[in-house]
Amino acid sequence: MSIVNDLSLVVREPLVLKFSEENTFTIPVDPTLELTYKMVDFQDKAKNAETEKEQIDLLLDMVILILNQDESKDIDKEFLFKNKISMSQLQAVVQLYQDQILKNNNNPN
């Protein structure tokens, strides 16, 4: 008889981001392989961006990718502009997401 290890039970602590009372996001921080590739691709493109506008556009796309992991939301650039999300908030979303992934990966449980 073989031992079955149920990997669906390995659930990591989600990241909850709040921009306002009506704009709270619950983000799973155990990214899929596809999401991981997209994040690395964004980071590589940002390093090679020739203009600040290009870097900002990539940051916006990365934040949209992260926030859209909350399946109850459908986020686009219009949402970010309409809700007056600041550059520091955009950068914080990416940093908090990356920090939470590291924290979860380093957690032995």
Structure tokens, 22: 């009506």
DSSP character at residue 2: P
Measured CA to CA, the distance from residue 50 to residue 64 in angstroms comes to: 21
Encode pLDDT of 62-83 as tens digits. 999 999 999 999 999 999 999 9
State both tokens at 62. 């990365």
Q: How many CB atoms are closer than 10 A to CB 12?
A: 16
CB 98 within 8 A of CB 17: no
Domain limits, the chain:
7-106
The pLDDT of 6-33, averaged and rounded, is 80
pLDDT tens track for 36-55: 888 889 889 988 999 999 99
Half-sphere exposure of 1 (CA within 13 A, CB side): 3
pTM reported for the whole predicted model: 0.82
